Structure 1
């Protein structure tokens, strides 16, 4: 006997949900690419008497509707899950997140009308928690950041929901060939600059999705641009890359990353090391010092992961200037500093965690004044 079952109602709802997300995307403008005015030591005249130097650009992802780089990822993850049939009208979406991804995903869950639960470390900044709850999301806290994966998977079963899993899906959900991803946007905005193909693009590693997208795009388009990934303390990405040891995939550190948004206790499935040209390990105090320094430089607060990016970007800028290698460097402003007023911008909070930023802040100030990088090169 022939049997047939039809779920067209679900298909119609998915079509409406995708249309809502696409309409939201069309209403959103691209983010700005800021050109940072460099000091005189970053400019010189080449052998032919032409002006040369090193230019620094910062892609300002804080201007997305949910205020961070993760807005792009959240949109891609929701579209990917919807088109795979994993999210339906009655699905509770669950995520393991350190904060900004959850804020953005709560926004898209609210947009299409499904419940959202964020599993996160209890140490997540209170400002981010408020942003998630403002979008209608619910926060489920764990004491150890390494527990977020297992707890999210458990809630998926208990609630009959869908664990959207940014750490596995980030590099799959984004079309690395283009389609207005962050890499295509950067190169389009750089096209009229004096060094349109950057010497370096510098980004942090959280899920690994952004670096995977950029690294693949550089190869696909044939750009002569190198990709540098910066990693904070207590993250396994750098030691895994340094040793090329896949065993790091199973390592859980006793202390998690103190730089929200980047650094992980395990090598995430979305981390594609083969497309990375260089990695730099950045001490937490240096990240926070660079966050404060750059905030003063541009006149508004940025988040700690942006500080890690800036520290890495200035490292390669210093090297290029010392070698008299002209070119451009691009990095990311990931999210606004207002989310961290009770943490990274609070001197008492830093002191409680033995984070002394006086030395690295003085080094950055000296570097900006005369071009002397902490290792003595100029």
Structure 2
């Protein structure tokens, strides 16, 4: 082939081949294989004697290979990074995380043979730290939750790596129109149920990505379902939704995985129909109550979800409405044995869950919802 330039024409040169994309092809194939094996999870239907006419469903995301809802997000973030040319064969991956996302990302980094560094608060549960290390990940700790972003960016620069940035990319890395996301999976599994179109979906917010996916999918499918997002103490999301203040800040949540000290870019308030904010004691109590009725422990964020579901159910009963309500089991409670399920930890943090436990047990058995400390529940 000639390389001589002719008048007005560029020289002919060998065109590049695709050999450099071989790693990307292999990586995507491995990620898609994991998706085929693990994308769909069980939709549980526990029965509560005090709630006739209201069907409760729990989408159990704790059964993913890495034990949480974040398995879906991590896979999407990896696909997003590879397809945008940000992740290659030798890329060091960095994430800011309170734990569960980092566990899932460490799993996928190991699957692809990549170095992974998680930047997380020092207070992150011991079980999550062990899981990250078990998948070959490295943990870098900070004392303040608000510092994870800047430290992750600094490590990205130092390693010439890629910051996965779940808090920014969660809402854009997931295909909210379908492609087997959690919303599509829920509605597909509900098709043959008594009330196939739920009255409400209830979800807490961590990155805000899951609530954005749920809300967008509802609108895309033109469904009558409404979305309630449940926030926790010391989180910025509720104030941002209520007041329209996307610059709202807070001190940071004690319920790992949800609630944030700032409004994350993936939080989309415009797709949310209603929000409530509940005390940490109510979230943890709801986790204990649901764990006892499922005969296995669930995580604190699932407790938040379940409390919000009970609050919605109580309003439906008061209005004489029938129908279904769906929420998610985000992860297993074994990761919180030293915190939410430890009486000493609860006492040290001055969290009394017993009044809320009694209230929830009474509601589930009789349908009577005695709202304790009504000023503590913002709605």
1:27 matched to which residue of 2? 37
Runs of 4+ in 1 over 3 A off after TM superposition: 1-10
Q: Number of aligned pairs?
A: 363
- The answer to whether the 8 A contact 1:10-1:88 is kept is no
2:274 matched to which residue of 1? 278
Q: Which has the larger radius of gyration?
A: 2
- CA displacement, residues 48-78 of structure 1 (integer Å, 9 cap, x when unaligned): xxxxx11100000000000000000000000
Partner residue of 1:338 out of 327, 331, 334: 334
- CA displacement, residues 254-306 of structure 1 (integer Å, 9 cap, x when unaligned): x3200000000110000010000000101100000000000001100000000
Partner residue of 1:297 out of 293, 297, 300: 293
1:90 matched to which residue of 2? 90
1:311 matched to which residue of 2? 307
2: CA distance, partners of 1:280 / 1:7: 55
2: CA distance, partners of 1:29 / 1:265: 30
2: CA distance, partners of 1:33 / 1:213: 18
**Displacement after TM superposition at 1:351 (Å):** 0.8
**Displacement after TM superposition at 1:25 (Å):** 1.6
1:267 matched to which residue of 2? 263
2: CA distance, partners of 1:160 / 1:5: 28
- The answer to whether the 8 A contact 1:10-1:89 is kept is no
- CA displacement, residues 303-346 of structure 1 (integer Å, 9 cap, x when unaligned): 00000000000000111112110110000000000111111110
Partner residue of 1:42 out of 23, 45, 51: 51
- The answer to whether the 8 A contact 2:81-2:87 is kept is yes
Q: Which runs of 5+ in 2 are unaligned?
A: 1-9, 375-379
- Superposition CA RMSD, Å: 1.5
1:243 matched to which residue of 2? 243
1:48 matched to which residue of 2? none
Normalised by the size of structure 1, how large is the TM-score?
Answer: 0.93
Distance 1:204 1:153, change over 3 A: same
2:27 matched to which residue of 1? 17
2: CA distance, partners of 1:314 / 1:281: 13
**Displacement after TM superposition at 1:374 (Å):** 2.2
Normalised by the size of structure 2, how large is the TM-score?
Answer: 0.93
1:56 counterpart SS class: strand
Q: Which runs of 5+ in 1 are unaligned?
A: 44-52
1:85 counterpart SS class: coil
**Displacement after TM superposition at 1:244 (Å):** 1.0
Q: Within 5 A, what are the aligned runs for 1:67-216?
A: 67-216=67-216
Partner residue of 1:357 out of 353, 357, 378: 353
2: CA distance, partners of 1:89 / 1:5: 22
1:36 counterpart SS class: coil
**Displacement after TM superposition at 1:42 (Å):** 2.1
